[in-house]
A and B are shown apart, each in its own frame.
Chain A
């Protein structure tokens, strides 16, 4: 793992910070798309190292944060059906729905299990043929391929007691939606490295051209992020708007075609509500009709659940970069990780949680 330490090398980081300061002649606002990047930025204090004229805003790339309330309510409804084994990624458990959360449902006796992959849930279904097993499939293009694999395997095996509550979302449509918004302040993007590892970055060229914004595919270590910012500022200063890859040790232009094929076979693109952002056209992935037998929404008849988002929570403004978390009047008062109003306070990748955890109490 020597290389990982190299990407955390403070001397290299400081050189990049100096280089960014040297080439930037005016204020620039850059959005990091991915929640993993947000956490790295706050954890390592990268935003504090940068010159004052470079402003980072935290994008909507935390899958927990953007999963709409309606789907949390659907998850709770399914998890509460007697004898169901409900499997989920860990950080979805604390996300509050309109009335409860999965952790509380677990405390009241629901069989809710944390898994690392939908394939683990599939295994649980094989081991428990007399019980229904449901996996809560959320996340971006990073987690969607394993959901696709699980669906394919379930079909091949003819597994009748396994199904998927699918709420996958895609990055390019939300970038477009942000750029179309009147309030958009973003002048350049750090694209999410891991999403690009799957999908490649061909689909970003039209966005860069149409909206005249530089997009730099960026990794997650401090040096990666600073390199991404450097390349972004370089383009902004030169008036260029291209797609560049600053994470070439992981990302190839075509991405992972095997993963893309699996996704194409299993999913269809749909309009999807995003928590705090509203409906974004063609931004969601749901199971194609040929997988209806493994679609938990149909199996448990929860399609009609449609929950409104709470008004006090300004996670939408945070996700759009319109306010920083501490500028929300509820931040740290009525909204804390113990009692989150919105998902940006719940997930370890959420911008509000990152600020709460690393910034509170320090002068």
Chain B
């Protein structure tokens, strides 16, 4: 492969921040990955590629799971690997059907632990109404992996005529959030660092397709959906604002953050707007449908904290996300470079 221009990145090798969901990851995708594979489907920059086979519209996606620790409050790598891929399919409006499961296992990994993780995958798959139908197994040398990495890919069927993607976002749309912020990231971090909090913080890791299917069946005119993963709410909405060339404004006082999560973020020096969820999505829809959509979402346990957090204000050439603060000030939200680093004091 020959790059046509000098590699316009400041790093000549991959650093952790290239996987952190922030600006460096965007640069890596935009400058190294996308130009190489460039095609109409990939360039839509959506969670899944949507294409037509015969007269059926299908969604296709893939994701890898490298989480440490493998077990955390509210889930494990197995549950996560099914939820993540199912949710990526759901974000295009598709009904998830089939998943693959590829395992990269480190030599010495206990088979009993592997069984527990696969069982968790199967239970989550049943919950989501998908089957795990193919896969692959590789073993790597001791010390060359964190126990277990999982890749899943998924296929789903679009039964709706709606084109659910960033370019369908319209000025005047309302932005709904389906759950409270930052719970997965903080739960995993506390587990990893061995920090105990008085109130238990449980990951929000959950299958989101039932919520989306209910919205579609009720005739909600969904313009765009995006689940919040790495980089959290702010990164998700900034990417959408860029893709759709709009100015999105969210309201600080409307953001649902449970108190233990807020406290943990303050103690550890993290901004909850940039911390991962794994069972929460942003929904763009016509403002007049907000009440009906919220009623549907709030019937689900996963959607009980659903609320409107913002609106699409106007078109904007580069895309802009702003936060209307409790103090009455409007400030911009930008992509972080990479992962948030814990503050000194």
Instruction: Name A's B-contacting residues (CB within 8 A).
Output: 1, 4, 8, 10, 13-14, 36, 42-46, 48-49, 63-64, 89-94, 103-104, 106-108, 114, 116, 138-140, 142-143, 194, 222, 337-339, 347-349, 356-362
Contacts and interface: CB of A to CB of B under 8 A. Distances in A.
Interface stretch (B7-15, B97-105, B140-148, B303-311): B7-15
B325 A45 contact: yes
Contacts of A358: 331-332, 334
Given A104-B13, A143-B345, A94 B329 contact: no
B11 A362 contact: no
A91 B193 contact: no
8 shortest interchain CB distances as A-B pairs: A45-B329, A90-B341, A90-B342, A362-B332, A89-B344, A142-B345, A337-B337, A107-B15
A362 to B, nearest CB: 4
Contacts of A108: 13
B3 interface: no
Contacts, number: 112
Nearest to B260: A1
A138 to B, nearest CB: 7
Contacts of B337: 94, 337-338
B343 interface: yes
B111 interface: no
B334 A348 contact: no
A197 B328 CA distance: 31
Given A107-B15, A362-B322, A356 B341 contact: no
Contacts of B269: 90, 348
A337 B334 CA distance: 11
A106 B15 contact: yes
A174 B331 CA distance: 31
B334 A107 contact: no
Contacts of A138: 344
Nearest to B319: A361
Contact of B16 (A45, A92, A107, A139): A107
A359 B325 contact: no
17 contacts: A1-B263, A14-B328, A43-B331, A45-B329, A49-B327, A49-B329, A63-B345, A90-B343, A91-B343, A93-B341, A104-B13, A142-B345, A339-B10, A356-B334, A358-B332, A359-B331, A361-B320
- Sort chain B's interface into a size bin: 35 or more
A264 B132 CA distance: 63
Nearest to A362: B332
B341 A114 contact: yes
A49 B326 CA distance: 12
Given A10-B326, A107-B14, A45 B331 contact: yes
Contacts of B13: 104, 107-108
Contacts of A356: 334
Nearest to B321: A361
A338 B10 contact: yes
A114 B320 CA distance: 32
A125 B66 CA distance: 27
Interface string B237-279: 0000000000000000000000100110010110000000000
A94 B14 contact: no
A43 B330 CA distance: 10
A142 B269 CA distance: 15
B17 interface: yes
B184 interface: no
A143 B344 contact: yes
Contacts of A359: 331-332
A93 B331 CA distance: 27
Contacts of A14: 328
B118 to A, nearest CB: 31
B16 A103 contact: yes
